[in-house]
């Protein structure tokens, strides 16, 4: 397990950034694509048709592939950093998904949500500085 040293590990941080970017893309594209599908079935009888609809949509497949690629980036990142250092960066996905969902989908934004996001960003900054 690699320890965080005083030398900045650019490649390791790019791996964390890649994890974040692919995670955010996957979440947003899946939300956008699933909004165009019928609701999940209550029973198993309709499930095969819904599964067919999901697996024949290229953008849904890209969202699933994005989750897989994000996990590859993540595995490489946690080889380079202690989990206690790398994992808080993943909370930036909350900030990005929240902001982009507001812009793209009109999701609600209010003062308490913004305050929570600022707390997340402050926490990540403090952890990153603490090395």
pTM comes to 0.83
CB 102 within 8 A of CB 54: no
Summarised one tens digit per residue, pLDDT across range 30-45 is: 999 998 887 777 777 8
Q: Residue 104 has what pLDDT?
A: 96
Q: What's the number of CA atoms in the CB half-sphere (13 Å) around residue 107?
A: 15
pLDDT tens digits, 61-119:
999 999 999 999 999 999 999 998 899 889 889 999 999 999 999 999 999 999 999 99
Q: Are 97 and 21 in contact (CB under 8 A)?
A: no
CA distance 40 to 54: 11
Query: Are the C-beta atoms of 99 and 24 separated by less than 8 Å?
Result: no
């Amino acid at each position: 397990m690699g320890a965080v040293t005083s030398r900045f590990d650019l490649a390791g941080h790019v791996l964390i950034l890649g994890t974040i970017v692919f995670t955010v893309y996957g979440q947003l594209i899946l939300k956008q694509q699933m909004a165009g599908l019928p609701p999940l079935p209550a029973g198993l009888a309709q499930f095969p048709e819904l599964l067919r609809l999901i697996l024949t949509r290229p953008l849904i497949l890209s969202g699933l592939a994005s989750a897989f690629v994000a996990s590859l980036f993540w595995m490489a990142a946690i080889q380079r950093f202690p989990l206690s250092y790398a994992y808080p960066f993943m909370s930036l996905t909350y900030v990005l998904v929240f902001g982009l969902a507001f812009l793209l989908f009109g999701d609600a934004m209010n003062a308490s949500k913004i305050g929570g996001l600022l707390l997340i960003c402050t926490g990540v900054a403090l952890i990153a500085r603490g090395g």
